[in-house]
Amino acid sequence: MSDISPPLTLTSIQVLHQQLLQQLEQVSSLADLEKIRPDLTGKKSPLTNMLKMLGQLPPDARKELGGFLNKVREEVAAKLEERFTSLQQQALDQKLMQEKQDVTLPPRPETVGKIHPITQVIEEVTQIFAKMGFELAEGPDIEREYYNFTALNFAEDHPARQMHDTFYLPPAHNGKELGGVLLRTHTSPVQIHAMRQSAPPLRVLAPGRTYRCDSDATHSPMFHQVEGLVVDKKIHMGHLKACVIDFCQSFFGVRHLKVRFRPSYFPFTEPSAEMDIGCLRRDGKLKIGEGDDWLEILGCGMVHPNVLKMGGINPEEYQGFAFGIGIERLGMLKYGIPDLRAFYDSDARWLQHY
Ligand code: DAH
């Protein structure tokens, strides 16, 4: 449309009005409509130009023509929107007509997430001990040296405290003195937290993450343990043995599991033992519950009187037993996983398999 505006008369307005409506009629696509939109109602359209020219007219003519011009403008704008909506509907109808659904296509394969094998093992272990009346307990991953070692009766010069085994945190943060803070090296500090939280009798189970400076096919700097603690009156080694034997039979699904307890040493138990289960090693494979070989499965013992005292419990009145089991190891044994590092590779195909 030309930029030169026609003279401002009733007739010229009527002519323009008809022209614009005709243009709108003729337009047949959304794209074309957008092209002519500025000519219809834009800032530089003839209609707007006419409105601007109104000011030059004498008041009477201005009033008459102004009223008319505004009506025309409103009508053109309304028709424009109407046309826009109908063209949009047309375009959509056309698109739907073309996009026919092919109901014979096979469905896309669905991928379903899986529980990580470590979590599966923790759940299985928790369920077995829950049936024996154990309750879940928790402690922090970032632990005080005091709970991780001192309260568990570790001597000041115990080698486990050494820097090369333990991840120590900087002694100060943002100018605040923190003292001995570390990533817990085992779940045993939860024993102290549990004893300080509730009075005996206690039956607690504490699965969780643990950390040590170690990394190879059978060690990861982050790994998982589950801690068990029972404190009551007249608790003895027989209770401990029955409890961990029951657990192993349930977990490995072997009723007549051969077991043996070897004397051992842990600062927080006295006496201390390690439990082995009977197995068969042949052709690089391992079968639990058969053969004449032995496999270490957990550490345990009677809670040291000093540890009971640290937990605020009178060792003259109460006794307890405790055990600690490596979760990764349980998973590797039960599911025949040879390399520990596979647990942390986050390979979806591997995870899907277990
Ligand atoms: N905390 C020990 C470790 O990490 C495992 C352990 C041994 C836990 C004996 C216990 C226990 O509760 O009684 O090697």
Q: What would the mean pLDDT of 105-130 be, rounded to a whole number?
A: 92
C-alpha 11/C-alpha 29 separation (Å) is: 30
pLDDT at 2: 45
Please report, as a single letter, which amino acid is at residue 111: T
Q: Which structure tokens are listed for 12?
A: 């010229």
Instruction: Specify the residue with its C-alpha closest to ligand 1, atom 13.
Output: 300
Q: How far is CA 224 from CA 55, 130, 180, 198, 308, in A?
A: 85, 19, 22, 25, 24
Q: Rounded to an integer, what distance in angstroms lies between the CA atom of residue 183 and that of residue 166?
A: 7
Give the pLDDT of residue 1.
46
Segment 50-57 shows an average pLDDT of 88
Size (the chain), residues: 354
Q: Which residue's alpha carbon is nearest to atom 6 within ligand 1?
A: 324
Reported confidence tier of residue 6, pLDDT bands at 50, 70, 90: low
Q: Which residue has the tokens 């080698």?
A: 159
List the residue whose alpha carbon is closest to atom 12 of ligand 1: 323
pLDDT more than 70, % of the chain:
97
Residues 6+ apart with CB under 8 A from 118: 224, 327, 328, 331, 343
Average pLDDT for the chain: 91
Cβ neighbours around 256 below 10 Å, total: 7
pLDDT of residue 111: 81
> Would the pLDDT of 37 be above 70?
yes
Q: Which residues contact 226 (CB under 8 A, 6 or more apart)?
A: 122, 125, 126, 187, 205, 206, 207, 208, 324, 325, 327
**pLDDT (tens digit per residue) in 170-208:** 877 777 776 789 999 999 999 999 999 999 999 999 999
Which range, 25-29, 73-77, 302-306, 343-347, is most confident? Answer: 302-306
pLDDT at residue 299 tops 90: yes
CA distances from 183 to 150, 165, 209, 217, 293 (A): 15, 11, 9, 21, 35
Residue 326 has pLDDT above 50, yes or no: yes
User: Is 226 a pocket residue for ligand 1 (Cβ < 6 Å)?
Assistant: no
In the chain, helix, strand, coil percent, each to 5? 45, 25, 35
What confidence tens digit (pLDDT) does each residue in 97-110 have?
888 888 899 988 88
If one residue of 300, 302, 306 were mutated to test the ligand 1 pocket, choosing by the most ligand atoms within 8 A of its CB, it would be 300
* Position with higher pLDDT, 354 vs 264: 264
pLDDT higher than threshold 90 for residue 216: no
List the one residue out of 37, 39, 18, 17 whose CA is nearest residue 83. Answer: 37
Q: Are 223 and 328 in contact (CB under 8 A)?
A: yes
Q: Is 323's C-beta closer than 6 angstroms to any atom of ligand 1?
A: yes
- The mean per-residue pLDDT over the stretch 55-73 comes to 89
Give Cα 288 to chain centroid, integer Å.
34
Q: Do residues 218 and 331 touch, judged by C-beta distance below 8 A?
A: no
pLDDT at 314 over 60: yes
Closest atom, ligand 1, to C-alpha of 186: 4
Residue type, 326: G
User: Is 324 close to ligand 1, i.e. is its CB under 6 Å away?
Assistant: yes
At 262-290, the pLDDT tens digits run 999 999 999 999 999 998 888 878 888 88
Instruction: Answer whether 227 contacts ligand 1 (Cβ < 6 A).
Output: yes
Q: What are phi and psi of 269, to 5 degrees?
A: -130, 150
pLDDT at 118 over 90: yes
- Which range is least confidently modeled, 20-29, 53-62, 244-253? 53-62
Residue keyed to tokens 């923790």: 122
